[in-house]
Structure 1
Amino acid sequence: MTKVGVLALQGDVREHAAAAVALGANVTLVRRPQELESVDALILPGGESTTIDKLLRAFGLRDLLMERIDAGLPVLGSCAGMILLARDLVDGIAGQQTLEAIPMTVRRNAFGRQVDSSEVALTWLPDGSPMHATFIRAPWVEAYDPEVEVLATAGDPESGVHAVAVQYGRCVATAFHPEISDELRVHQRLLELVPA
């Protein structure tokens, strides 16, 4: 059985854990290096990206996580997790660090403040099917290298269309929260990246 870790330092941990369990995974909450070492895949939940960044460093997880990602650990980051996976940030806080796992530039809080949270109908580009997405103080992808696969976009021609779900190697990132929309396709994609 695939052992999926959910980074449990801050954010919507329980909802991601429930989604992974619904797909048949064994879930471990990750707070210490030995827990990170034991998992086959990892979920970086939404929350506050600057807080999660500081806690990754305080708990001695950041460098180990970067090493595991470089070695091929499948990772899913939603909302704040997308920000953490980005190579570059727009509107980051002074001193904020990322894991530099996906060659993309992400704008923090691109969709506005908490009061601007919304539910949006997207197209899941891998199969062209509709997807319900919940955005909460969400980022978007401003730019990305050609090797990054866009899985979904949001916006309109007037204000601009931006990537809101991407994959690069074994890293998947979404600006929205699939774990609170009863949407399992994003988590399923993570599980499919775990080597047999």
Structure 2
Amino acid sequence: MIKVGVLGLQGAVREHVHSIEECGAEAVVIKQKEQLEDVDGLILPGGESTTMRKLIDQYDFMDSLKSFASTGKPMFGTCAGLILLAKDIVGYDEPHIGVMDVKVERNSFGRQRESFEVELDIAGVADDFTAVFIRGPHIVQVGENVEILAKHHDRIVAAREGNILGCSFHPELTDDYRMTAYFINMVKEAKEN
């Protein structure tokens, strides 16, 4: 069975676990870096990127996360998770994990009270996906090997670069598991190769 880890330091961990299980894969909440060796793919959940970075540093996760990415095992960052994966962040001198060739801008869609839902056309996933945006970032620019999967008002909100997937919204906060299923399929393909 495919095992997908969810970084369990902060954020919407339980919701991601539920969506993974609904897709027929095994979910593992990752609270220690050694657990990364046991999973086939990893989700970095939404939450607060600055807090998540502090916890990644506190629990000595950074090198293990970079190493995980270098193995070619798929990673999926949602909202704050996308910020962690990005190689470039507007207003910051250096990235966090920095493995996806995108530049992101934090809090692009307003404050918490300005959260909203919108139907998106996501390439390879769905043409009617209800996306929940909560203080989400957006992708300002992409590298040449990055495939843009979705836009909202001309802002890039989902993209993929090889085994790395990122989105600005929270797919785990709906009962639509197609985005998670898309990632699990990436994990299956990577495991077979």
Find the counterpart in structure 1 of residue 165 from structure 2.
172
Find the counterpart in structure 2 of residue 189 from structure 1.
182
Ranges in structure 1 where 5+ consecutive residues have no aligned partner? 156-160
SS, match of residue 193 in structure 1 = helix
Find the counterpart in structure 1 of residue 48 from structure 2.
48
The whole-number CA distance in structure 2 between the counterparts of 1:145 and 1:28 is 31
Deviation at 1:126, TM superposition (A): 2.4
The whole-number CA distance in structure 2 between the counterparts of 1:107 and 1:127 is 24
Find the counterpart in structure 1 of residue 155 from structure 2.
162
Q: Is the 8 A contact 2:42 2:74 kept in 1?
A: yes
Deviations 1:100-150 (A, max 9, x none): 111010000011111111001111122662111000000000001121011
Q: Is the 8 A contact 1:76 1:187 kept in 2?
A: no
SS, match of residue 11 in structure 2 = coil
- Within a 5 Å distance, the mapping from 1:29-108 to structure 2 comes to 29-92=29-92, 97-108=95-106
The whole-number CA distance in structure 1 between the counterparts of 2:46 and 2:68 is 20
SS, match of residue 27 in structure 2 = strand
TM-score, reference length from structure 2 = 0.93
Ranges in structure 2 where 5+ consecutive residues have no aligned partner? none
SS, match of residue 53 in structure 2 = helix
**Poorly superposed stretches of 4+, deviation over 3 Å:** none
Find the counterpart in structure 1 of residue 134 from structure 2.
136
TM-score, reference length from structure 1 = 0.92
Q: State percent identity of aligned pairs.
A: 40
Name the amino acid aligned to 1:65.
Answer: L
The whole-number CA distance in structure 2 between the counterparts of 1:27 and 1:171 is 18
Which is helix-richer, 1 or 2? 2
Aligned residues between the structures: 189
